[in-house]
Every structure is written in structure tokens, then in C-alpha cells.
A and B are shown apart, each in its own frame.
Chain A
């Protein structure tokens, strides 16, 4: 952290962890707690708050990096980069509505959960854009990894390990992200009325085209209605200079003519549609549980069909069919069906939202094979030997 306030806030986190380490007290790590409902509930006596770790510490637009305290609201960072015509590349979603939170999410929360939006399919996940971190491990030591440059293979990549570790290894205090220019325009080619298999085939063809498609989602009719479409839609997005968007959307319509006539959404309509896909708007208002399933894209429709047969499901697919969002009853039976279907397809799954009772009772992410589970336990101990940081959040006992 730079700046006196930042350093003081970081020192505060260090002191708090040191105290917890000394006393062996488990702590829950929280920013604005907007995604507290993810994964397993943490049983902890105390909480360490990262909200004081705030403020942009570095922004060098021509070097494509921005750094900020982990407690900085994501909106503040997005506004800062937008002011220079840039954007956060991985398109981090905002799931406040899904979790019923009104608090703005923080940079630390986005990185600790490694949540990425539709652009992930072309430009990488949030973790791919974390260039450097400062973090406090479970011993209360400040650990730095990476830095402020875009290319860095010096030492083990702790930046990636901490991204998506849900605060179970260390508490992020400052993060440097790579940013990219915000394209001049967006456009979306819409293929309507396709069944899921045809829809994913269309998206595969789009992603396999030379036109740099950077968003590919399929919404069955029910989900599509949430975006104002009358029937199922397969959406392929292009972001670029205006001339390129016009040219490429045109080429896509021609080359994918076998999937029927396609409409093109303009810039404003594209922004709205992809924000809705990003934030899982089609599942807003669903009670019960929500899962995210990640599979080989061509396996997506099969998994969706299997689950729709198993329970009353509302679903849609992003990442060209590779990410299946599915809502259903918050029951162990439904959960078992998800585990079975995703496992059969060779994919992975995440119980994204569920009542505490369910998420405390079942694994919320796949259990690892024994050899890997041993490594998981050892690596956890390498950061947090007393197991005080967010205990049990990812796996029971870790």
C-alpha cells in the first residue's frame, strides 16, 4: 500500500491477524460482504474488515495497470478507468441482487472470488489480469507477489493462487490489475429460436470464427424473456472499433447463415443485454439454490437437459455453452443431480447460492482426489498454519 492511510490500514490488518494467530481465533474476512452467501458459511468468532483498505494507489493508463486497496469499491475503479477510455477486462459481474445485498462489492471481493463475466471466454478470467498483490497471510506476515508490470514470472505465482481462494489463504490488501482500452463500440449478433444444441453449435462456430467474438451466451425462452426476447436466443458479441464491429457482425451473419437469419443489436442494446448476462439477471427472483457449472462447451446442453429433467430448473449458458447457470430447489437431491451431471460431463460445479443449512451440509465445490486434497491441506497450512482465515469456507476442515 502506498500513502499513510493505506499503510495504516494494512498495518491494522496485520495486527489483527497477528492477534488472531497468537490466540488461535478463527476470523471471517470480509469487505462489504456482498458475496458472503457464496460457498460454505464460515464459523468464526471475529471478523477482519478490509473496508479501510481503500483508494486507488496507482493508475498508469499508458502502462495498462491500475492498483487499489482491496476495500476499494469496484465501481470507483470502473469509473476511474472509464475516465481514461479503459475498462476492467474480465468484466466482473455484480451479484448483489442474487445475494440480496445492497452493499457495493469491493476489488478484494472480486479477486478473492475470481468471478468473471462474459468476456472471460475470450479475454481470460479476473485472475488472468491480477498483476500484483499485497496480502497478509495467516501468520500475520505481509506477503507480496507479482508487481505492477504486465509480464512477470519471477517466483511462484501467488497472485493466481490467492485469486479465487476466498480469503482462506491470506487477506488481500492491495491489488494491481491489468486494464485494456474500452472498445469504441459493441455489437451483438442474435440467432433466435434455436434449441440448446443448435444454439451452442452456433456459438461454437462464432467463437471459432476469425472475428474475435468476446461474448457467447445461449438463453432458452424463459431466460431470454428476462432480457426482453420473445424466444430463445444465442448471442455473439463483438467489441472493437466501429468499422470492425459493423464488418464483423455482418460477416458473422453471413457465415453462420445456416443457423437462420440473425439480427444485430446496436451498442446500447448490446451493453444492456450483456450486463444482464453478466449479472445473471435471468435468475433474479428465483428462490431456492443456484449453481454454476463449468464444462466443455459442447457438453453444456446435455447437462442442462439432464438437470431440467431432474428438477424444476431455470437456466442459461454463457461462455459459449461452457458456463451453465442453473436455479432449482435447494435440496440435497437437486444438488446430487448437479454433481452427477457435471461430473459425468467431466466438468466442475459450484453451489453458488443456497440457504446456510444446505451449504453447510453438502460440499459446495467438488472434493479433490486424495493426492490433491493432501496438497490443498498442506498449502493451506503453508499460508495459515493455525487455520484461522475463513475456516471451512471452501472445504469442510480447510
Chain B
């Protein structure tokens, strides 16, 4: 296949630019190494072959050695170097993240959702993007506003180093891509090194051999230094993907000619430098140009121009403005429209509904209205509708495309939402138990929670993660746990934890309409008010238009300020609300105990909390979690700091015992977790203090 001369010249120009970038960074090593960076030297040709053939409707997930992909997309050296120097006008992140960690949402260029620095972790978000594209096509949701007949359907490229393919999460992505026949290309660049470990030390096979185990993904291996071969292979692959909508893996052998990063220098540990030098794509490219009747002088002119441009733009980028201290505080959360409680919380002829039904009905109402909403997770599909029947009937009503089962892949369930959200969808996903959120935490932390902030406001992740949580009677050590402290510790997430059906419904709606990721803890013991003393979890079901803004606590038992009585403000959430209400009632102290239901754990409604504590003079924080290093423990400290002068007793904390797990045996379980009785005792202690 003959490649157009102009394309060759363009490719060479970009290759020369990439080489010049590496050279100028080394030349100014003392300056440029302030912030760690890696360049594509050796990998340029395969990267350009991909970057130059992507359309604006496509999505690409480059990793940190992919500066030539960025040049291929049309980014200028200055764009890249503004990020190298972490400048305010860095088009990707505003100086928030490293060189060649792009996020791009320009109208005229392929889209790049936020790229983290955790290798291999982009595989799941990228596959999620392809899954989102497929979903839209199956639901007949257009990719663009005026989508015509000849519109080239979008593809997704996920770029990986071969060493990162050994990571488990990459397997989840391959599995789903093959299973669902998603339009994704896994571009694997194989330079034989994993920083200082060689391929012989870290893998049993290359990505090309590995992908043979994933049915439905077609694998191709090529010489990634041969532009002609690379360009034509990618061209063919893209064409097939756009037409046949199926996944590929292209494995490209390349040398690594620059340092692993500016901080890990090749001369220190490598003995194969000369060998790799032989595979330099640069002279091969010049050879190709010459073979295509491009003159030496023209080649030289291209080279010279590239160097000059880089030199000039280096200075411009270096002298550009740094971010201001106040720039730290933007784009933590995208603004939401749901700021006030609206609709009828207790409609006149409303029916009582258990909490789990409030959740199902909320999702059902949303799905009826919004084709971009969908729900997936383990066992939520048609046959079961969730192990707690928390998704019951939804698949029957909305079909298998919109409500479907996933594999036991918490990482995929959580991380795929980044891609879903990138293409404009709004997924509800769930992990089956809070006890199993752990494999999903990596995606939640490295990808979901930071996307909006590190893309400097370009890529909010709109998703709702449902997490059935809490002890509900002999659930044992792997089905009774709570994990809100860990989740609340991840900034960039909103975390809600309702204690009753009406709140759950209102918050589920707010979470859906929120452009940010929302984790919603749903207590299994409250789902049906089955656990004794949880009648209050069942409520009149709010109206269809009812929304409850995230971040608003609720005073479920309000008292007057009483100077001559000892009064307590109980700050709690979830099951704690029920223990507190029951305890106050059994003690006959409803007039002395105020109960604040946080409803949202992040962001916290400190205003309501502090007002209540200052009014009451004493405060008890109740959590179902073990107390040490917990969300609730941190809250007591915050209250103490803000209310010190208003306190007539230390802020007290009641939670589970600080043991590693909730044991199976019911006696041990009761001993482990709080109860109405334990709360009563604590109330007495605090009143008498």
C-alpha cells in the first residue's frame, strides 16, 4: 500500500519534532527534570500512525510515553511543553498533572478523557468508553447532533505498554471487549522493559500471545518502527472497527531510546543501548522518505524547522505563567442543578414503601425519562434483579441492553463508568456488598474521583455507585461490613448514606442528576425494615419529581435550646439514626436529645451539625464502623475544633469494636456492633457527665 507523500512528510515532521523535544529536554535537564517526564523516543512511528488517523469523534487513551500520539492528533510542541513545565495554560490539566498526561475535549480533535499515571488503569475506562459507544448505537442515541448516513462510527484506542498488560485489571478490560465485541483497539507498545525489569522477568508471553486467550479480540503484531507498515495496519484496523464494530489488539515492537523517565536514567542500569539504537525509527523514516523521492534538502529543511519550532516554543512555554495559589481550589466538583428540595416528600395519597422499593422506583422513573441512563452490576439482570432484589423488575422493563449482569469485576464495574460518562451516558452501577468494594477502589481512586480535577474541569464523571452495606443479622465477615470511611477518604466523590426510603429516593434522583461521581450506601438492614427497630426506614414514597439535594443533613428529632436541662446532639447516619431514635424513645428523653441524620457524608453539612451541637452543648457521634481512624472519628475532631467553647463535655463517639471483621456468630456480632442498648448507655454517660 502506497502512502501519500504529504502524509509521509507530515509524519516525518512530527517525528523530527518528537526527537527535538527529547533532545531539548535533555539539553535543559536541570530545568526540565523539576517535574518528572518521559518521552516517546523510539516509539514515535507507531504512535504517529495511530494519532494521525483518529477522527474528532474518536476516543484515545494515551499513556505517559505517548507524546508522539499527541503530536499526531495535532497538539503543538508548546501545548506539550506547557504541561512539561506545569504551567497555568497547560491545555490538558492547567499544571495539575505531569507531561504527556493528557485530557482533551476540543471540538476538532479526538477526545481524551483524563489520563492517570497508574499504568494499565486506562484499559477499563477505555473499554467503558467503547461499551458506551456500543450502548448508544444499540439504543439509537446519535453520537453527534446531526449524525448523517456516512458518519464514520467512532472507535476507541487504548494505548498500553506491554509490561502493564500483566496487570489484572487489563484482563477485565480484554474480557469485556471480547465478550461484548466493543469497537476498541488496544495498542500495545513493547520495548521489552518494565522500568528496570526485562520482559523475561515479568511475563510469560507478549500481549500478542496473551490476547489469543481472549476470544473475539483479533491480535496483530508488527514492527512499530516501520512507518509504512504501522500506518497501513492501523488504517486497516480502524476501517474494520468502524464497519464491523469489533475489538483489536495491535502489538508493536519498538526500542526505547530515551530514559524510562527523567528520574530513572537509562545509563544507570541498561546494557542494551546499542542494540536498541539499531532499531531507531528515525533513520528508517528518512530512508522511507528518500525512497519516496523526497529530497535530502527537503528532509533537512523539515528537520531544521522542527528543531527551530521546538526551541522557540520551549522558551515560550518556559516563560509562561504559573498557576496561582487560588487555582488549587477550582474544579473539585462540577456544579449541580439540584440545590433545593423539590417535589412532594410525603404525597397525600402516597403509599408506604420499604426502602429498597424507593430505590428501585427512583431508578425506574429516571430510566423512563432518560435513555442515557442504564444499570449494571453483578446479578442485577433479569433472572435475579439483584441479590437483595434491589434492581428487581428493571431488566424486564428496560431490556438487557439497559440493565445487565456483569462478571465478578468490581474494577470494571466501577472504572467503566468513566468511559460511559465520557460519551454522555449516566450509569448506575453497583458492587454487591460493601465488603467487595475493595477491587473497585483502585478505579474509584485513580480514575473516577480525580478525572474532573486533573482534567481541569473538562471531564466530570457522572455516575452513581450503589453499595449495599452494613450488618443485617448474621451476615458474617464478608457480607456485613461497612466501608464509608475508606470511600469518604477519596476526595472528588460525593458520598450519601440515607437512613430511610424517602431520603434514598430523593438522593438517588439528586445523584443521577449530579455531574459528579456519587457513591450511595444503602443499608441492607434497612431495605425492608426487617431488622427490629427500623420501622422508620419505611416511608411514604415521595412523588416522581421529588429530589433531595446532596449535602443536606436532616434533624430527625429536633429539640429547643434548654439552658437548665442537659441536652445532647446525636450526629449519626444510616443505622445509627435508628439506634439513636430508639434509645431516646426508650429513655423517654426525646425532649433532651436532638438527632441529626447526616444523609450525606461528603460533602458534609457542617452548618447543620455545628448549629445543633452548639445548641445542645454535648455531642455524641454514632457510626456502625469501628471507631479507630474512622469517618466518624474525624468528625468528632472537627466538631471539637469548631465548637470547643460551646461544649460542656467532650464529644463522644460510639461505633463498632475495633476488630478486623464482624464475626459470623450472632453473639459475637452483637458484641461487635452498636445497638440501641449501647447507645442508651452512652447517652446516660454523656448526660451525667
Same assembly: no
